[in-house]
Amino acid sequence: MGDLSNKLEQIRAIKNGKGIQYILDAAYKILGNPALIFDMDYKLIACPDGVVNDDPIWIEFMAYGRLGNETIEFFKNEGFIESVANCTNFDGVTYLISNKLKYDRIFGQLNNNSQISVADLVAVACDKPFDDDIPVLIKALCDILSKELGKSDYYQNYGQTYQENIIKNLIEGGIEDKGIYTGHVANIDKGLKTNIYVAVARIAQSDSTDPKLVYFRELFKQTQPDFKYSIYVNYIVFFISSDNTMLNIEKDLKKLIEIFDKNNIYVGISSNFENLFESQRHYIEAVNALNHGLNSNNKQRIFLHDGR
Amino acid sequence: MPGNLKKEDLKIHKTKKALMAALSILLERQKFAQITVGGLCKEARISRVTFYTHFTDKYDLLIHWLENTKTEIINNAVSYEVIENNINNFVACNSKIIKNLLGDANNETTELLCNFLLSSLHIINDKTNNGQINPQYVVLSKFYGGGLMNYIKWQIENKFPEDLQMMNSYLYSIMLTMLKWME
């Protein structure tokens, strides 16, 4: 226990502001095993300086700067992607252990300032077996690295782009292999309540190239940060959520209504669902609700799929 | 574990197993209608997205759970007597679960449970080899299934009376007579 609190203190004492390379170098000395970080596209971001080992996946990262499709497929088949998706909603760290891996590893997620997962940390037990307290230490290390990444505008933008791509794939129904996407979709699901709705907002006279859409997306996000936003076609598409199967607009969208009214923004909202893999159908519902609502000329601003 | 399970499916099998265990635990405590996907995920410590990677909804999970149980019931059973015995054991060991499945107002779960028991007894095969509906089997399975459900409900409500074994034998002899009559 003394050893744990000592190591935990050492990790928490790693100075922020010196960059992720510095943190990983310092962490290597404390943990006794190396850890690297890679982004959501499996591209290597950083690893401790001068580490050489015989772990095939580590070597793949060093040689190509990213993981290949074969390794990602292996991750899927071994249930690692699923483990990562599961830890997203619980501890944020998970072991990746298999007799097909040369060394055990432990995985943690790194978030940007908007709490979007932008990178993964993996520590590899190639120098010594993991101690029992390793999850606590990795969690602490992830917190420090997340703070460091949070300082970077790049990772703020990267997180937004990453999230938009996943939302785009969901509403286009483009996810053929759920197994590969489980972790990514779990990142979208994170923080959403039981009942999900797709909403589409039409900003007057703007198309997908109009900077107004970006401006309003950011405004929506600042106003209601727990929803998930994207720009798609000529709309701002967003996943909203509620504890109730019947959306209470005044309560659930309270903060956004004022912006809609002030800026002449019309919104269509789908029926409720829980399974994000069904987003495409609900996106179509939301667009139809918006179009029917606008054609009906009934002076409303928010149109629900069921016509309320 | 089913023998035809591929090696790469093992981890996924683990997830499904965790969800089935979660379903059993929750069904011990509440009616199926009250169980939510969120509750199942919390109990199994898996994310909602992982749930939906494997199942379309909680009914899909229930069907999987029943199929899995059926495999256990009919596994290596050489006669109706053994299957009958396995079903009786299943009912006795899972009385709370069955009570909660039978207690749903919409009857959907009762029907699923009924189909599960009938198919375990191999009498749900209501189609001929040509894929045509066999009206005699339809009548038999609906008639027998309805009676079986009521009988199981009665057993549970009466806390499994002492002469149950004799009653069970009588029930299954009715079924065998009906099946003979079908031939």
The answer to whether the Cβ–Cβ distance between A86 and B45 falls below 8 Å is yes
Confidence of residue B8 (pLDDT cuts 50, 70, 90): very low
Query: ipTM for the complex?
Result: 0.87
The residue of chain B with its CA nearest to that of A97 is B11
**What does the DSSP assignment read for chain B?**
--TT--GGGHHHHHHHHHHHHHHHHHHHHS-GGG--HHHHHHHHT--HHHHHHH-SSHHHHHHHHHHHHHHHHHTT--SHHHHHHHHHHHHHHTHHHHHHHHT-TT-HHHHHHHHHHHHHTT----B-TTS-B-HHHHHHHHHHHHHHHHHHHHHHHTT--TTHHHHHHHHHHHHHHHHHHH-
Instruction: Give the count of Cβ contacts less than 8 A between chain A and B.
Output: 59
Q: So what's the pLDDT on residue B171?
A: 80
The answer to whether the Cβ–Cβ distance between B53 and A182 falls below 8 Å is yes
Do residues B37 and A106 touch, judged by C-beta distance below 8 A? no
3-state secondary structure B98-125: HHHHHCCCCCHHHHHHHHHHHHHCCCCC
Q: So what's the pLDDT on residue A308?
A: 58
What's the mean pLDDT in A271-278?
95
The answer to whether the Cβ–Cβ distance between A185 and B49 falls below 8 Å is yes
Confidence of residue A286 (pLDDT cuts 50, 70, 90): very high
Nearest to B38 among A178, A182, A194 (CB): A194
The answer to whether the Cβ–Cβ distance between A275 and B36 falls below 8 Å is no
CA of A165 vs chain B CAs: smallest distance (Å): 17
Proportion of chain B above pLDDT 90, given as a percent:
28
Nearest to A178 among B37, B47, B53 (CB): B53
C-alpha–C-alpha distance, residues A120 and A39, integer Å: 6
Confidence of residue B130 (pLDDT cuts 50, 70, 90): low
The answer to whether the Cβ–Cβ distance between A189 and B49 falls below 8 Å is yes
Burial tier of A180 (Cβ tally within 10 Å: 0-12, 13-18, 19+):
middle
Inform me whether the pLDDT recorded for B33 exceeds 60: yes
Nearest to A182 among B10, B45, B50 (CB): B50
The answer to whether the Cβ–Cβ distance between B11 and A82 falls below 8 Å is yes
Inform me whether the pLDDT recorded for B127 exceeds 60: no
Confidence of residue A85 (pLDDT cuts 50, 70, 90): confident
The residue of chain A with its CA nearest to that of B10 is A78
| Arithmetic mean of pLDDT over chain B | 81
What's the mean pLDDT in A236-246?
93
Do residues B110 and B102 touch, judged by C-beta distance below 8 A? yes
Q: So what's the pLDDT on residue B1?
A: 36
Least reliable range by pLDDT among A200-204, B15-19, B84-88:
B84-88
Least reliable range by pLDDT among A100-104, A115-119, A205-209:
A205-209
Q: What CA–CA distances, in Å, run from B93 to A235, B62, B86, B87?
A: 55, 18, 10, 10
Inform me whether the pLDDT recorded for B123 exceeds 90: no
The answer to whether the Cβ–Cβ distance between B41 and A89 falls below 8 Å is yes
What's the mean pLDDT in B173-177?
81
CA of A187 vs chain B CAs: smallest distance (Å): 9
Question: Which domains are assigned to chain A?
Answer: 2-152 (3.30.450.40), 191-304 (3.30.70)
Q: What CA–CA distances, in Å, run from A265 to A171, A212, A216?
A: 21, 12, 10
Inform me whether the pLDDT recorded for B126 exceeds 70: no
**pLDDT tens-place string over residues A44-77:** 999 999 898 999 999 999 999 999 999 999 998 8
- The CB-side HSE value for A304 (13 A sphere, CA atoms) comes to 13
Confidence of residue A284 (pLDDT cuts 50, 70, 90): very high
Proportion of chain A above pLDDT 90, given as a percent:
67
What's the mean pLDDT in A170-178?
91
Q: So what's the pLDDT on residue B2?
A: 40
pTM reported for the whole predicted model: 0.85
Q: So what's the pLDDT on residue A207?
A: 64
**pLDDT tens-place string over residues B54-91:** 999 999 999 999 998 888 888 767 777 788 788 888 88
Inform me whether the pLDDT recorded for B6 exceeds 60: no
A84 vs A38, higher pLDDT = A38
The residue of chain B with its CA nearest to that of A90 is B45
